[in-house]
């Protein structure tokens, strides 16, 4: 009987370990960002309605600081790096300088980098922009309509759209955007 109890205990330990690995898998995937030669997708998230690579991006309208609106239709023909972030999100703030360096490297190309803040007003966004010197095109999504339409579950979360408005990559968590593989990948998409 003692032998059987010991066997059941080991089965229980294996089940708990397997469950822990399954639960930790999303965090492990996004921990180091994309490291392969071509940037990797860190999987769909956000539950029902989450956009996955290969699907068209949902139509969206972005509120710009100038008061103008920028729509997904306005961006057709360009590769779009759509980075959803917030001023209260430490990984977002850590990621912003490399996003700005990416923007500078791709300046004049067919790639547009847009930061979409889910802050409630422009004051918080302006403080971050002033502090970091980022010139990334910024938009505001205070009601998180864009974030919800994409199924965003964690900030920062970035969607790369091809020239036809199809999501080709979804990256969850902080990335190092100015790495050579990202730059090369985005330049190739923009051709």
What is the pLDDT, as a whole number, of residue 1?
56
What is the pLDDT, as a whole number, of residue 152?
93
Structural domain boundaries in the chain: 32-190
Residue 115: which H helix or E strand, with range? strand 111-117
What is the pLDDT, as a whole number, of residue 41?
38
Question: Going by C-beta distance under 8 Å and a sequence separation of 6 or more, which residues neighbour residue 49?
Answer: 148, 149, 151
Between 6 and 172, residue with greater pLDDT: 172
| Eight-state DSSP code of residue 54 | T
Q: Of the spans 1-10, 31-40, 91-100, 174-183, which averages the highest pLDDT?
A: 91-100
The answer to whether residue 146 scores a pLDDT higher than 90 is yes
pLDDT tens column, 5-52: 554 444 443 333 333 333 333 333 333 333 333 344 333 334 457 899
The answer to whether residue 61 scores a pLDDT higher than 60 is yes
**CATH class given for the domain over 32-190:** alpha beta
What is the pLDDT, as a whole number, of residue 29?
35
What is the pLDDT, as a whole number, of residue 21?
31
Instruction: Report residue 34: phi and psi, to 5°.
Output: -85, 125
What is the pLDDT, as a whole number, of residue 191?
87
Question: Going by C-beta distance under 8 Å and a sequence separation of 6 or more, which residues neighbour residue 20?
Answer: none
SS3 92: helix
Between 100 and 9, residue with greater pLDDT: 100
Out of 31-35, 115-119, 135-139, least confident range: 31-35
Average pLDDT in the 89-104 region? 95
Q: How confident is the model at residue 4 (pLDDT cuts 50, 70, 90)?
A: low
Question: Residue 16 burial (CB < 10 Å; 0-12/13-18/19+)?
Answer: exposed
Residues facing residue 166 across a β-bridge: 56
What is the pLDDT, as a whole number, of residue 128?
94
Q: Average model confidence (pLDDT) for the chain?
A: 80
């Amino acid at each position: 009987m003692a032998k059987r109890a010991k066997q059941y205990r080991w089965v229980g330990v294996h089940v708990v370990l397997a469950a822990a690995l399954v639960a930790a898998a999303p965090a492990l995937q996004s921990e180091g960002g994309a490291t392969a030669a071509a940037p990797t997708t860190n999987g769909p998230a956000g539950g029902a309605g989450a956009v996955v690579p290969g699907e068209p991006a949902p139509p969206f309208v972005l509120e710009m600081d100038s008061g103008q609106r920028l729509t997904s239709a306005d961006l057709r023909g360009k590769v779009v790096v759509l980075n959803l972030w917030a001023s209260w999100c430490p990984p977002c703030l850590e990621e912003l300088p490399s996003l700005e360096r990416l923007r500078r490297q791709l300046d004049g190309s067919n790639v547009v980098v847009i930061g979409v803040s889910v802050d409630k007003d422009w004051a918080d966004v302006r403080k971050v922009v002033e502090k970091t010197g980022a010139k990334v095109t910024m938009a505001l999504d205070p009601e998180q309509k864009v974030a919800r339409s994409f199924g965003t579950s964690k900030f920062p979360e970035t969607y790369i759209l091809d020239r036809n408005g199809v999501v080709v990559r979804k990256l969850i968590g902080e990335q190092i955007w100015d790495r050579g593989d990202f730059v090369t990948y985005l330049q190739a998409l923009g051709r």
